[in-house]
Amino acid sequence: MSNGTNDLSGAISNLIDTMGKLAQQQVELINTGIKTASQMVEPLTKTATDLLGNVVSTMNQVLQSISSAIAPKK
Tens-digit pLDDT profile for residues 3-42: 556 788 889 999 999 999 999 999 999 999 999 999 999 9
Q: Output DSSP code: residue 71.
A: S
pTM: 0.53
Instruction: Indicate the Cα dihedral angle 51, 54, 59, 62, nearest 10°.
Output: -140
Cα distances from 39 to residues 1, 29, 44, 45, in angstroms, run: 57, 15, 9, 10
Question: What local confidence, expressed as pLDDT, does residue 73 receive?
Answer: 73
